[in-house]
Structure 1
Amino acid sequence: MMKNMHSFIYTAISASLFSAFSASTMANEAPMENIVVSGSRVIESIDEVPASITVIGPEQVAEYLKVTPELQSMLSMFVPGMAPDTGSSSNTGQTLRGRSPLVMIDGVPQSTPLRNGSLGVKTLDPSVIERIEIIKGATSIYGNGAAGGIINYITKRAARSGVEGEVSLSSRFSAVKVAESAGVRTEAMLNGREGKFSYLFAASYEENGVQRDAEGDILGLQYGLSDTVTQNYFTKLGYQFDADKQLQMSFNYYSSQQETDLADVFGDLNTGQKSYAIHASEDLQKRGEPQGPDGNTNFTVKYTDYDVFANTQMTLDYYQQDINNVFFFSPVLANPDEGYNGGQSIIKSEKKGLRGTFNTNISLNEHWQAHLIYGVDFLNDVTSQPLVDGRIWVPEMDMENVAGFVQTKWLYDDNIIIKAGVRNENIDLQVDDYSTLKLCRSEDQCSEVFSVKGDELNYQATTYNAAVKITYLPYFQPFVSYSQGADISDIGRLLRTATVFDIADIRTEASIIDNYEIGFTSQINQNIRVETAIFKSTSELGTTNSFDETTGVYMPVRAPQKIWGFEALFNWQINEQLRLVSTYSISEGKDTENNLYLGGKYISPAKTTLHLNWTPYQDTSVNINYVYVDSRKRFAPDEDGNYVGDQGPVSAYDLVNVNAKYQLTAAWQTFVGIENLFNADYYPSRAQAYTYGGYNVKGLGTTVNLGVQYQF
């Protein structure tokens, strides 16, 4: 593989003059010129980024944490184009513009693209997050898995001087039926600087009680959050050698597992019966190991030299990641012939990566400024999905990826911004010989076993992107962009359902996603900002589902896809005390080969949000968050009157969350948050669209969070 490195780096450098990076700006915080982002792998002002970006800032993260610590809920509330909250620990169906995003912590991938289990969004505690950057639309700037864009959690930094710290204690409980619902959460953080050395230590621990719907019943346990114990331990250390050179190391441990003695009562979407949980005898309780992330770890080392040579910054990153995501016990993984009446899978992933990024600034003349961003990425990703009982569902996939990239940014009088870039991927994926599992839904409905010959799969792809933004007029700043992403995600799903005897005969080809976008931002006056974007993305090979009646297995279907949509944001600082932000997003998608609409796994209903921030006094603030999810009913039932797969009809619903804080003294603060203020009785959109067993769980009823915080 290494022998090809020089050739594709040369390709990347030579092609960069004719390519570019994607575009449009959708940030929720003001003033916009003060916001910096790292979407192009270097820090820059958001107004100079012609990319569809939403930034959830420090205040928004902190305020929403007073309602709930669930990141899926926060992203759904603040990000146009992000599908509605699933109400669970899984973000399957919670796409970004109809495609899967790549989730990262400080630029380190958390998703497991080779076997996408859709657990990447819930990957650390929000108490250690400073801000969240969301880049929408396919991009390859960080490599494989970003078909829908990037969600990058930027962690907190040490204080600029001295020592700072905080401790908080809170409890969440159901206001519908308090019994057994009260949980406890504690957070602690200590950070500071001593000479050239900086440090930050943070820990959080939370025990959930049972979660109840609007009728007071306990929510179903499949990907559920009832009786979940969550722990997060984070450390960041830094050393400033001189004004230009610094070293930073960080470590994060995250675990969130459901330890319960409850049992599921499964309903059926087609009959209108909800799934819920009850107390039951031991033989009927939730089976298997506790579900959820079982001690996922991240370790990173970053070295930065801001003046490594003339006008050039260098950043070197090394990272290691170890993921063990445990899934629920499922009867679908049964094989009566071998004595298995079900099974429980684990996605295991170990990543090691090294990245070198250089940023050279060039002043061409009094009008033109240029920035050249270039580098090389190395990644080894070993992912598998065994069962707890020892059976192998998805064999070990050993991926080695080397990529060279160049991004260029051209500024003319700071009013015309042109971005151009290219990335060349060279991927080797090794899979040894393996056999598919015999899985039975019933005695007469079993999959066939295939002994598959392994091989080394090779992928080479060059992706391009281009964008222009014009900023002469503050009230009309148009942009246009084109970007590509190379996606070999979820190869594991293709391997586990193989119906051939040689891996070379499985349709494991990479999918190239083309993303097109046009829109504008408008700063009407100092207090009003409007942003809009129209987008379309196409891919030659998508991966949808088709149910096989004979085997009882949902088989992947690789067919071309087209997804399109519209997003808008309105930001109004009404006065010094009152601020309103509203967003709207809608998307639609089709399998263009068969002219069929895409189901709820990819396309969610239109979404409208309103965020009202009121600060009546210096020591008091109130936030009201409203979300309206529209209906989507694209599919007809089968001949028996039942909906199948992810094609259930979605009816509209709306929710209101509210939180308030009061500063008792300079050090003490008390707060309250209420989720689902008016106790709406509803099913989340995924629960309505998914007909698979156990997903039709209602949303959370009115839930109160009370807490106190001490800062020093």
Structure 2
Amino acid sequence: MACIAQAQEIVVKGTVKAEDGRPVAFANISIPSEKTGTIANSNGAFILQLAKPGLVIFKISSVGFKSIEQKIEISAGGKQDIQFVLPANGSLQEVIVSASRKQETLDQVPSSVTIISPKDLEIQKSISNNISDILMNSVPGLGFSSNQTSNSGQTLRGRNVLVMIDGIPQSTPLRNGARDIRTIDPSAIERVEVIKGATAIYGNGADGGLINYITKKADRNKSGLSGKTTLGLNTQLKDAQHTGGFNLGQLLSGNYKKFDFVVSGHYEQTGVYKDADGTVISPTYGLGETQLWNAFTKLGFQVNDKNRVELMYNFFGSQQRSDYVAVDGVYPTKPATGVLGKRLGDPEGTPYNHNGSLHYTSRQIVGNTDLDVNLYFQDFNTVYYWTDSWEGGGQSQINSKKRGLRINLATPFNLGGNIQSEIVYGLDVLNDKTDQSLTDGRLWVPQMDMKNIAPYAQLKATFWDHFVFKAGARYENINIDVPDFTTIVSKNTKTGAYDVGGVPVTGGTIDYNAFVFNAGLRYNKLGYFKPFISYSQSFSVNELGRILRSAEENTIALLNTKAVIANNYEFGFSGTAGPVSYEANTYISTSKLGANYVEVDGKFQIARDPQKIYGFEMAADVRILKNMGMGASYSYIEGKLDINKNGKYNDAEDVYMGGEKIAPPKLTAYIRYQPLRQWNVRLQMLYAGNRDRFEPSTSGTYTYGKGPVSAFALFNLYSSFDFDTHSSLQLGVDNLFNKDYYLVYSQWDARGQNYLKGTGTRVNLTYNYKF
């Protein structure tokens, strides 16, 4: 009897919450070893009696969340106030951080969001490890990959996108070298959050939205050391000689008491890239014969239940060492190819991209206010191909150093009645020093020194539990110091003489000050129909480096350096009805100033005509059977320029925007099937539609950005087989049917040197071992 009385005294009490702090109603709490358990109440609270003290493994699960297991030492006196936190399961209730600078679910966001989950990321990188390809196949509204180190033309809804790694900006408006998307290897990424449309809350550069790579973190609910070893081989099937490549990866993760860590390394060597006919593709900006390195670490210290410190560092490097030289093509009849030869200059690519941050979070630091502080840096260098554009030839490189601080606070407050409210506010501080020089020391763009201080505030109010209203503002205060410089002497494309440039320019300070706003409303009561409407602005400095390097005036004050403010109007909805999940939206984006590239006498200039971009996106997923599903997405974008600046876009003078901003229609589709519990198969399609908006010149040629795009469809295959709980094999086949096609980028570019075909069938075989 005494033993029974003692057992009854061992009582455990606690709560189950979601990652955003909300209680998880009716969650299941079980102890498998003792075959006992209970169900939480509507507030997530539970009471559980144990037969004996000791180390207990709890298992917690709930619909819409990932299940977790957690070890807790229970004394003879029981334990009170245990808190279990369930992570989202990657469905429509996915917890995101990029939309509002704090954790919340998609139901709380009145804008368009695409999440590439860990599972989807794993599938796509098994087909192609190029992050630009992964995004192209996963994000409606994002342009097509160039199959190169450059992401030229891969805009989001026809505008530039702000790329970040854990909130650290990779893009620079001072000199956008179109290499900001490919700045980290997918092996270090946990998931990708894509916020579409002008994004005021993140500031400079997010005209089309933002892409935030969220890096891996340790699972504190999993004890001991765990890891994953990856070995991959790849080759093309047509004329496979010299096309073989391989990759190696190692990830370690663990926690000890209050410490947790993740460490990973990835190395990849690609072979020669060939088209469907087995012809070597031009190596200029190419991904073939490239070495890639990525080293990542994240160290966390859980001070207590409310305070955490996290240190992150990521190194990315990619350089091409090719035995081929480029042979220009002839647009539109002959592709650019590669032949054996010695490439001039240094290896092309990104020798290094260093990112690091010190991140501190505190819940209820003062009252109910949460604090988030992120101190970060980025050091970036990228090198372009050798060219004779300058006397004696040379290679340009972009150097960028960023130092920044983000301070973010979130305070809930009571407006009374059925209104739950919160204000998110803070300050962004950024110093960006960027220049473009030749590798031999000649200066092309002087070092621009940008200081950006931006306070912001965002109000969220939830009415009657189902109406979510958001409104906010951000104030941009930017000054950029430009030193005196002389434009570099370059080649005259008409005469071949080196007599262009050499203009002395008096430097100075360029100041920008602007308020940008956003507001939106979402209704989320009906699971099958959750509509939203939103308006948001963005602010971005307009490619200052390109303006400076082609300056024909002798002072900064005379150059057209005005910023771009974009306005995004959007309506959309999402929902789930039985086995079907869907989303759709339509939008209009306008700006009084544009930033379109135009080619005049072989020289690029920036047109500042007003822009209007419009389009729509649709996506749906269907669970056909327990082991079968399918899905599809479609996105359409179009844009026009108001040439006579009268506020209308249908005058005879007005023209369509070029392909460097506006992508052709994009359709993706997939079908998945699981024949066995351990075997998964997925077939997916990417379709690029036609876009033909421009007439050729009298000589039958097209200028940059105006080439017609002809439709094509590509199919990819993914298959995985789990041998046991530790070992698995993945097969990815890119361009399954060896389609012979020209890249979207090469078609609208309309220049022989960039008239490239896509790669033929490429097979990737990957073995994974988890422990």
TM tier, smaller: over 0.9
* Structure 2 equivalent of residue 583 of structure 1: 633
Equivalent positions of 1:518-667 (< 5 A) are 518-525=571-578, 527-549=579-601, 552-593=602-643, 594-667=653-726
In structure 2, distance between residues paired with 1:511 and 1:289: 36
User: What is the DSSP-based 3-state SS (H/G/I as helix, E as strand, rest coil) of the residue aligned with 2:440?
Assistant: coil
* Cα deviation digits, residues 639-684 of structure 1 (max 9, x gap): 1111111111110000001111111121111111100000000011
Q: Which of 430, 433, 437 is matched with 1:386 structurally? A: 437
User: What is the DSSP-based 3-state SS (H/G/I as helix, E as strand, rest coil) of the residue aligned with 2:158?
Assistant: coil
Equivalent positions of 1:165-180 (< 5 A) are 165-180=227-242
Counterpart contact for 1:66–1:671, Cα < 8 Å: yes
Equivalent positions of 1:137-156 (< 5 A) are 137-156=197-216
* Structure 1 equivalent of residue 154 of structure 2: 94
Q: Deviation of residue 34 (structure 1)?
A: 4.1
In structure 2, distance between residues paired with 1:100 and 1:135: 13
Equivalent positions of 1:325-474 (< 5 A) are 325-331=382-388, 333-335=389-391, 340=392, 342-440=393-491, 441=493, 442-444=495-497, 446-474=499-527
Q: TM-score, normalised by structure 2?
A: 0.85
Counterpart contact for 1:116–1:489, Cα < 8 Å: no
In structure 2, distance between residues paired with 1:300 and 1:613: 39
Q: TM-score, normalised by structure 1?
A: 0.92
* Structure 2 equivalent of residue 276 of structure 1: 337
Q: Deviation of residue 467 (structure 1)?
A: 0.4
| Counterparts in 2 of 1:30 and 1:302: CA distance versus 1, 3 Å | closer
Q: Deviation of residue 542 (structure 1)?
A: 1.1
Q: Deviation of residue 472 (structure 1)?
A: 2.9
User: What is the DSSP-based 3-state SS (H/G/I as helix, E as strand, rest coil) of the residue aligned with 2:136?
Assistant: helix
Q: Which of 464, 483, 491 is matched with 2:544 structurally? A: 491
Q: Which of 296, 304, 315 is matched with 2:361 structurally? A: 304
* Structure 1 equivalent of residue 42 of structure 2: none
In structure 1, distance between residues paired with 2:439 and 2:583: 48
In structure 2, distance between residues paired with 1:105 and 1:638: 43
Counterpart contact for 2:310–2:360, Cα < 8 Å: yes
* Cα deviation digits, residues 503-542 of structure 1 (max 9, x gap): 01101011111111112113223x2122111111111111
* Structure 1 equivalent of residue 350 of structure 2: 293
* Structure 2 equivalent of residue 25 of structure 1: none
User: What is the DSSP-based 3-state SS (H/G/I as helix, E as strand, rest coil) of the residue aligned with 2:308?
Assistant: strand
* Cα deviation digits, residues 166-209 of structure 1 (max 9, x gap): 10101110011210011010110001000000111000000111
Which amino acid in the other structure matches residue 454 of structure 1? G
* Cα deviation digits, residues 492-511 of structure 1 (max 9, x gap): 11111111111011010111
* Structure 1 equivalent of residue 565 of structure 2: 512
* Cα deviation digits, residues 416-460 of structure 1 (max 9, x gap): 010100000100100011111221134258524321110011100
In structure 1, distance between residues paired with 2:245 and 2:397: 27
Q: Deviation of residue 29 (structure 1)?
A: 8.3
In structure 1, distance between residues paired with 2:438 and 2:200: 32
* Structure 1 equivalent of residue 167 of structure 2: 107
Which amino acid in the other structure matches residue 380 of structure 1? N
Q: Deviation of residue 628 (structure 1)?
A: 0.6
Which amino acid in the other structure matches residue 334 of structure 1? W
Equivalent positions of 1:112-123 (< 5 A) are 112-123=172-183
Counterpart contact for 1:29–1:57, Cα < 8 Å: no
Equivalent positions of 1:650-689 (< 5 A) are 650-689=709-748
* Cα deviation digits, residues 342-385 of structure 1 (max 9, x gap): 32111100000011000112243351111110001110000010
Which amino acid in the other structure matches residue 279 of structure 1? L
* Structure 1 equivalent of residue 302 of structure 2: 240
* Cα deviation digits, residues 127-169 of structure 1 (max 9, x gap): 1111100001111322211111100000111122321101010
Measured on the aligned residues, the alpha-carbon RMSD in Å equals 1.4
Which ranges in structure 1 are unaligned for 5 or more consecutive residues? 1-27
Q: Which has the larger radius of gyration?
A: 2
| Counterparts in 2 of 1:115 and 1:693: CA distance versus 1, 3 Å | farther
User: What is the DSSP-based 3-state SS (H/G/I as helix, E as strand, rest coil) of the residue aligned with 1:77?
Assistant: helix
Q: Which moved more, 1:261-270 or 1:424-433?
A: 261-270
| Counterparts in 2 of 1:451 and 1:692: CA distance versus 1, 3 Å | farther
Q: Deviation of residue 30 (structure 1)?
A: 5.5
Counterpart contact for 2:111–2:533, Cα < 8 Å: no
In structure 1, distance between residues paired with 2:376 and 2:739: 44
User: What is the DSSP-based 3-state SS (H/G/I as helix, E as strand, rest coil) of the residue aligned with 2:119?
Assistant: helix
| Counterpart check, 1:230 vs 2:292 | yes
Counterpart contact for 1:268–1:691, Cα < 8 Å: no
| Counterparts in 2 of 1:163 and 1:413: CA distance versus 1, 3 Å | farther
In structure 2, distance between residues paired with 1:519 and 1:346: 42
Which amino acid in the other structure matches residue 426 of structure 1? N
Q: Which of 270, 289, 314 is matched with 1:252 structurally? A: 314
| Counterpart check, 1:70 vs 2:127 | no
Percentage identity across paired residues of the two chains: 38
Q: Which moved more, 1:34-43 or 1:102-111?
A: 34-43
* Cα deviation digits, residues 84-117 of structure 1 (max 9, x gap): 1211111111110001101100111011221001
In structure 2, distance between residues paired with 1:198 and 1:82: 35
Counterpart contact for 1:436–1:497, Cα < 8 Å: yes
* Structure 2 equivalent of residue 3 of structure 1: none
Q: Which of 245, 253, 263 is matched with 1:191 structurally? A: 253
Which amino acid in the other structure matches residue 542 of structure 1? G
Q: Deviation of residue 476 (structure 1)?
A: 2.3
* Structure 1 equivalent of residue 142 of structure 2: 82
* Cα deviation digits, residues 301-323 of structure 1 (max 9, x gap): 00111111111110111001100
Q: Which of 84, 91, 94 is matched with 1:31 structurally? A: 91
* Cα deviation digits, residues 7-52 of structure 1 (max 9, x gap): xxxxxxxxxxxxxxxxxxxxx9863124434321101011111111
Q: Which of 271, 274, 281 is matched with 1:219 structurally? A: 281
User: What is the DSSP-based 3-state SS (H/G/I as helix, E as strand, rest coil) of the residue aligned with 1:687?
Assistant: helix
In structure 2, distance between residues paired with 1:266 and 1:45: 50
In structure 2, distance between residues paired with 1:600 and 1:287: 31
Counterpart contact for 2:742–2:758, Cα < 8 Å: yes
Which amino acid in the other structure matches residue 544 of structure 1? N
In structure 2, distance between residues paired with 1:345 and 1:561: 31
* Structure 1 equivalent of residue 380 of structure 2: 323
Q: Which of 60, 77, 82 is matched with 2:120 structurally? A: 60
Q: Which moved more, 1:359-368 or 1:29-38?
A: 29-38
Count, aligned residues: 671
Q: Deviation of residue 573 (structure 1)?
A: 1.5
User: What is the DSSP-based 3-state SS (H/G/I as helix, E as strand, rest coil) of the residue aligned with 1:581?
Assistant: strand
User: What is the DSSP-based 3-state SS (H/G/I as helix, E as strand, rest coil) of the residue aligned with 1:371?
Assistant: strand
User: What is the DSSP-based 3-state SS (H/G/I as helix, E as strand, rest coil) of the residue aligned with 1:574?
Assistant: strand
In structure 2, distance between residues paired with 1:352 and 1:79: 30
In structure 2, distance between residues paired with 1:468 and 1:431: 42
In structure 2, distance between residues paired with 1:642 and 1:36: 47
Counterpart contact for 1:144–1:489, Cα < 8 Å: no
Which amino acid in the other structure matches residue 319 of structure 2? Q
In structure 2, distance between residues paired with 1:150 and 1:377: 16
